[in-house]
Amino acid sequence: MLIPLLAVIAGLIVLVWSADQFVDGAAGTAGHFGMPPLLIGMVIVGFGTSAPEMVVSALAASQGNPGIALGNAYGSNITNIALILGLTALISPIAVHSQVLRKELPILIALAGLAAYQLWDGHVSRTDAWILLGLFACLMGWTIRQGLRNKTDVLGSEVAEELAAHPVALSKSVWQLILGLVLLVASSRLLVWGAVEIAQGLGVSDIVIGLTIIAIGTSLPELASSLAATRKGEHDIALGNVLGSNIFNTLAVVGIAGAIHPMSVGPEVLSRDLLVMTALTLLLFVFCYGFRGPGRINRLEGLVLLSCYIGYMVYLGTTVFG
Dihedral of the alpha carbons of 260, 129, 217, 183, in degrees to the nearest 10: 40
Give me the mean pLDDT over the 61-83 stretch: 89
Question: Among 79-88, 177-186, 219-228, which stretch is predicted with the lowest mean pLDDT?
Answer: 219-228
| Beta partners for residue 94, in sequence order | 297
pLDDT of residue 131: 96
Name the band, by pLDDT with cuts 50, 70 and 90, for residue 244.
confident
Measure the CA–CA gap between 22 and 25, rounded to whole angstroms: 5
Name the band, by pLDDT with cuts 50, 70 and 90, for residue 219.
confident
What count of residues does the chain have? 322
Give yes or no for a contact between 4 and 194, defined as CB atoms under 8 angstroms apart: yes
Range among 44-48, 210-214, 277-281 rated most confident: 277-281
| Beta partners for residue 92, in sequence order | none
Q: What is the DSSP letter of 123?
A: E
Give me the mean pLDDT over the 287-316 stretch: 85
pLDDT of residue 268: 86
Question: Among 44-48, 220-224, 283-287, which stretch is predicted with the lowest mean pLDDT?
Answer: 44-48
pLDDT of residue 60: 86
Give me the mean pLDDT over the 6-31 stretch: 77
Higher pLDDT residue, 13 or 274? 274
Domain count, the chain: 1
pLDDT of residue 56: 85
- Res. 143: pLDDT tops 80: no
- Res. 163: pLDDT tops 60: no
Exposed/middle/buried for residue 192 (C-beta within 10 Å: 0-12, 13-18, 19+): buried
Name the band, by pLDDT with cuts 50, 70 and 90, for residue 21.
confident
Measure the CA–CA gap between 270 and 149, rounded to whole angstroms: 39
- Res. 22: pLDDT tops 80: no
Residue 129 structural domain: 2-321
Name the band, by pLDDT with cuts 50, 70 and 90, for residue 273.
very high
**DSSP states along 32-88:** HTT--HHHIIIIIIHHHHTHHHHHHHHHHHHTT-HHHHHHHHHHHHHIIIIIIHHHH
pLDDT of residue 235: 64
Within 10 A of 66 (CB to CB), how many other CB atoms are there? 25
pTM of the model: 0.82
Residue at 212: amino acid letter: T
CATH classification of the domain holding 289: 1.20.1420.30
- Res. 160: pLDDT tops 60: no
pLDDT of residue 309: 95
Exposed/middle/buried for residue 322 (C-beta within 10 Å: 0-12, 13-18, 19+): exposed
- Res. 93: pLDDT tops 80: yes
Name the band, by pLDDT with cuts 50, 70 and 90, for residue 274.
very high
Select from 47, 108, 307, 84 the least CA-distant residue to 215: 84
Give me the mean pLDDT over the 37-50 stretch: 60
Measure the CA–CA gap between 278 and 2, rounded to whole angstroms: 35
pLDDT of residue 54: 84
- Res. 245: pLDDT tops 90: no
Higher pLDDT residue, 265 or 147? 265
- Res. 5: pLDDT tops 80: yes
Higher pLDDT residue, 283 or 20? 283
- Res. 77: pLDDT tops 80: yes
Dihedral of the alpha carbons of 247, 32, 149, 110, in degrees to the nearest 10: 0
| Beta partners for residue 95, in sequence order | 296
